[in-house]
């Protein structure tokens, strides 16, 4: 068929089915708008609903969007005279072909569903999974968005996180805090313990049960390592750690307890030095 004949046939078909084509276009437009509205409604409504974890909102939002779009396409095709059974058969065949071609993508979808179901992490929690660390911003249909401690955006495939051992630093309400500091072997251990305990007992963030304690953790080459151990609320962990480290240095200095550092003593001996004889020799 030549180009002129093809254009003529196409024009004739368009004229005979103008209303059907317009209806199909309107259905697609309405479906596109409805898909966006449904996605936004779920994203805005679910996080504010009582008893519903806000972590599921992004995933359900994307599922609703794509679901409405598929329905709109099916209805638009039926307006053009395509049988619904044929449409479903084509979608099934296309879905199978896409599934075989995009196995990695489908694994991300499955992993996203499992992450939402088992909930090893939630929005706002700080996690580390196989080197991927950051605060969870969104668990999507294909990938998870995170924000690192220094404000860098990270997009991690769901399957990569699902296959990793996820360490969640925010899930438990409290964390153990360890502050290590070395003192010289000549220092008074009891006095150093009293100084460190004073730091912990004077801070309201330190939990009373279990209470704070100070131990001699290690006898090193040049220092006795003292360990201040206490429990604090998880949101206060990093601030308390940094403050206690500084206070330990200032407190030990104030109480005259030396914090040693590595020293190297060098003795120089001349090659032609004459040994000194004892007067008795």
pLDDT in tens, 129-184: 988 999 999 888 889 999 999 999 999 999 999 998 999 999 999 999 999 999 99
Q: 7: buried, middle or exposed (CB in 10 Å: 19+, 13-18, 0-12)?
A: exposed
**Residue written as tokens 């360490």?**
167
Q: How far apart are CA 77 and CA 82, in angstroms?
A: 6
Could you tell me how many residues make up the chain? 281
Q: Supply the pLDDT for residue 34.
A: 84
Taking residues 245-260, report their average pLDDT: 93
Helix (H, G, I), strand (E, B) or coil at 149: coil
Q: Does domain 120-168 have CATH number 2.30.30.60?
A: yes
Domain ranges of the chain: 12-101, 120-168, 174-254
Q: How far apart are CA 175 and CA 237, in angstroms?
A: 7
From the candidate CATH numbers 3.40.50.720, 1.10.10.1590, 3.30.365.10, 1.10.287.1260, the one assigned to the domain spanning 12-101: 1.10.287.1260
Sign of CA dihedral 33, 36, 38, 44: negative
Is the peptide bond between 179 and the residue preceding it cis, with omega within 30 degrees of 0? no
pLDDT in tens, 58-87: 777 777 887 888 788 777 777 777 666 666
- Name the H helices within the chain: 3-16, 18-45, 56-79, 84-101, 103-118, 158-162, 189-201, 237-254
pLDDT in tens, 24-36: 788 888 888 888 8
pLDDT in tens, 96-137: 665 555 556 778 888 888 888 888 999 899 999 988 999 999
CATH fold of 174-254, please? Alpha-Beta Plaits (3.30.70)
């Amino acid at each position: 068929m030549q180009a002129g004949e093809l254009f003529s046939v196409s024009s004739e078909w368009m004229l005979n089915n103008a209303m059907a084509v317009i209806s199909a276009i309107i259905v697609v437009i309405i479906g596109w708008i409805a898909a966006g509205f449904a996605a936004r409604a779920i994203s805005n409504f679910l996080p504010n609903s009582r008893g519903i974890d806000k972590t599921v909102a992004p995933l359900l939002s994307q599922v609703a969007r794509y679901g409405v779009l598929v329905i709109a396409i099916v209805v638009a095709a039926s307006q053009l005279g395509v049988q619904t059974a044929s449409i479903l058969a084509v979608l099934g065949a296309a879905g199978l072909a896409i599934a075989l071609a995009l196995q990695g993508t489908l694994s991300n979808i499955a992993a996203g569903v499992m992450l939402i179901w088992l909930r090893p992490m939630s929005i706002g929690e700080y996690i580390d999974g196989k080197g991927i660390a950051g605060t969870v911003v969104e668990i999507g249909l294909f990938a998870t968005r995170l924000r690192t401690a220094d404000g860098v955006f990270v997009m991690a495939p769901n399957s990569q996180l699902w296959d990793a051992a996820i360490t969640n630093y925010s899930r438990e309400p409290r964390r153990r805090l360890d502050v290590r500091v070395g003192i010289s072997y000549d220092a008074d251990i009891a006095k150093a313990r009293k100084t460190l305990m004073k730091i912990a007992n004077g801070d309201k963030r330190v939990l009373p049960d279990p209470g704070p304690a100070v131990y001699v953790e290690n006898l090193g080459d040049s220092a006795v390592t003292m360990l201040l151990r206490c429990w604090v609320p998880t949101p206060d962990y990093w601030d308390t750690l940094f403050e206690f480290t500084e206070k330990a240095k200032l407190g030990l200095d104030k109480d005259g307890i030396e914090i040693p550092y590595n020293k190297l003593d060098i003795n120089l001996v001349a090659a032609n030095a004459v040994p000194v004889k004892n007067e008795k020799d």
